[in-house]
Amino acid sequence: MERKSQAKPILFFFVLVSALIETSYAGDIAIYWGQNGNEGTLSDTCATGRYKYVNIGFLHTFGNGATPGLDLVGHCNPASNGCTSHSGEIKSCQNQGIKVMLSLGGAAGSYSLASQEDAKSVADYLWNNFLGGTSSSRPLGDAVLDGIDFDIEAGSGQYWDDLARSLSAYSSQGRKVYLTAAPQCPFPDTHLGTAINTGLFDYVWIQFYNNPQAQCQYASGNTKDILNSWNQWTSINAGSIFLGLPASPEAAGNGYIPPDVLTSQILPTIKSSAKYGGVMLWSKFFDNDYSAAIINS
Convert the pLDDT of each residue in 76-110 to its tens digit: 999 999 999 999 999 999 999 999 999 999 999 99
Main-chain dihedrals φ then ψ at residue 10, nearest 5 degrees: -65, -45
pLDDT over 50 at 19, yes or no: no
Average pLDDT over residues 56-69: 97
Checking 126-131 for CB contacts under 8 A at 24+ apart, the result is 126/59, 126/102, 126/167, 127/167, 127/170, 127/177, 129/68, 130/102, 131/170, 131/175, 131/177
pLDDT over 70 at 37, yes or no: yes
Predicted confidence (pLDDT) per residue in 212-222, tens digit: 999 999 999 99
Between 145 and 12, whose confidence is greater? Answer: 145
Q: Tell me whether the omega of the peptide bond preceding residue 58 falls within 30 degrees of 0, making it cis.
A: yes
Q: What is the mean pLDDT of the chain?
A: 92
Q: Are strands 203-207 and 240-246 parallel, antiparallel or unpaired?
A: parallel
User: How far apart are alpha carbons 230 and 275 in whole angstroms?
Assistant: 11
DSSP E strand stretches across the chain: 28-33, 53-62, 69-70, 99-106, 110-111, 147-152, 178-181, 203-207, 240-246, 276-282
Average pLDDT over residues 111-140: 97
Residue 65's region, left for phi above 0, alpha for psi from -120 to 50, else beta, is left
CB 133 within 8 A of CB 127: yes
Indicate the SS3 state at residue 57.
Answer: strand
CB 209 within 8 A of CB 252: yes
pTM over the 0.75 mark: yes
Between the alpha carbon of residue 85 and those of residues 118, 138, 143, 189, the distances in Å are: 30, 11, 10, 36
What integer pLDDT is reported at residue 185 of this predicted model?
98
Question: Burial level of 38, CB count in 10 A (0-12/13-18/19+)?
Answer: exposed
pLDDT over 90 at 7, yes or no: no
Indicate the SS3 state at residue 265.
Answer: helix
- Catalytic residue check, 153: yes
Average pLDDT over residues 130-148: 97
User: How far apart are alpha carbons 196 and 201 in whole angstroms?
Assistant: 6
Predicted confidence (pLDDT) per residue in 162-194, tens digit: 999 999 999 988 889 999 999 999 999 999 999
Domain spanning 28-295, CATH class? alpha beta
- In the chain, where the domains are located: 28-295
Read off the DSSP letter of residue 67.
P
Read off the DSSP letter of residue 7.
H
Burial state string for 108-139 with b = 16 or more CB within 10 A and e = fewer than 16: ebebbbeeeebbbbbbebbbebbbeeeeeebb
Q: Which of 2, 22, 153, 250 is catalytic?
A: 153
Between the alpha carbon of residue 62 and those of residues 116, 223, 291, the distances in Å are: 14, 38, 32
What integer pLDDT is reported at residue 23 of this predicted model?
42
Hey, which residues does 280 pair with through a beta bridge?
30, 244
Burial state string for 152-167 with b = 16 or more CB within 10 A and e = fewer than 16: bbebebbbbbbbbbbb
Between the alpha carbon of residue 181 and those of residues 83, 184, 227, the distances in Å are: 24, 10, 20
